[in-house]
Amino acid sequence: FYKSFAEVPENYRTVIRPLMFPPAPEDVAKFNLDRCIRVLPHQQNTGGFFIALLEKKKKLPSEVEPSETAADEVKTCEAEPPQKKQKRYHRGFKEDPFVFFDGKEDIFDSIKSFYQLNDTFNPLNLLTRCREGKKKNIYFSAEILRNIVTTNENKIKFINLGVKAFARCDNRNMVCDFRLAQEGLESVNGFIGAGRRARIVKDDLIKLLSNNDPTRPPEIEGLSEDTQTNVTVLEPGSCVLEYRGEDGLEMDLVGWRGTKSLRAYVDQHDTVHMLRLLGADVSKYEKNKFEDNRAAEAEAEAEAEAEGQEEGKVEVEEAA
């Protein structure tokens, strides 16, 4: 620490200024510092403050009485009526709106019936991002968030709200047009009935998660008998796959029960995470892009070298 500005090195004097130090002892009395309060950050667990009462000795330059010429100019200006200031109207935000359900949506009836949602589920906590037309995604939020949004709809710009609980999945063979979304499953899982749940064993779950070809999902006949028994009673469509391991590991994920197949509706990041929890092989998901680039370069060099050898062979044959 430096006790005075004189102790500050030359290269720091542009950063540390003289007024950062207390005044000289002979100047302390004229500043009346005993009437000031200094609050340090550690004293109130907040920012530092310097509290003082300042007395205004004279008027500011802009407050000095104008001359007679200036007074005449002021009178002339006052004779002209001031222009009325136009009001600025708030035109809202261009962000897509958050439209909460009002309990009259027809789409919720099919969702509630298909997923057997219990009566404790409040549909008023669901929302979409469009007022008219087909609803692409349905989000779930807490009741307190609904109150905040509805009372500040035209005042606060909300960028993101809630978690995606249902996503549109148009299929003419399905009773419900919406499937479950993995990112919002934790929020709505407790409301879904047993008729849309299926217990699955570890090996079958690993098989579903390891399949990354959505066009060729595993067939139900190729799964274990226990899993087949639990899955075949479900109607085709979105469902919850439950895993309860002997080691205490519990896992719920979104699945799709097809006519003859079963697949996991989970993105790659969650897939890798779940496979690691299950102790399965994830090597095919752990690709190093730098190694792939080096392999591609080596393959290109090998092809170029092979083409060069082939051209040399042709030239030798022509010379012969």
Query: What totals of helices (H) and strands (E) does the chain contain, helices first?
Result: 10, 11
- Residue bearing the bigger pLDDT, 167 or 310: 167
Predicted pLDDT at 310: 65
What are the tens digits of pLDDT across the range 190-222?
999 999 999 999 999 999 999 888 889 999 999
With cut-offs at 50, 70 and 90, classify the pLDDT of residue 72.
low
What are the tens digits of pLDDT across the range 86-99?
666 555 556 677 88
| Half-sphere CA count of 166, side-chain side, radius 13 A | 29
Strands 197-199 and 237-244: parallel
What are the tens digits of pLDDT across the range 141-190?
988 888 888 888 778 878 888 899 999 987 777 888 899 999 999 999 99
With cut-offs at 50, 70 and 90, classify the pLDDT of residue 129.
confident
Predicted pLDDT at 302: 78
> In what side-by-side order are the strands of the sheet with 126-128?
99-100, 126-128, 137-140, 163-168, 178-180
Please give the biggest Cα pair distance in the chain: 115
pTM: predicted TM-score of the whole model, two decimal places? 0.60
122's tokens: 């409040």
Predicted pLDDT at 119: 92
Predicted pLDDT at 49: 84
Predicted pLDDT at 182: 95
Predicted pLDDT at 292: 66
- Give the C-alpha distances (Å, rounded to integers) separating 208 from 105, 230, 238, 316: 35, 15, 15, 57
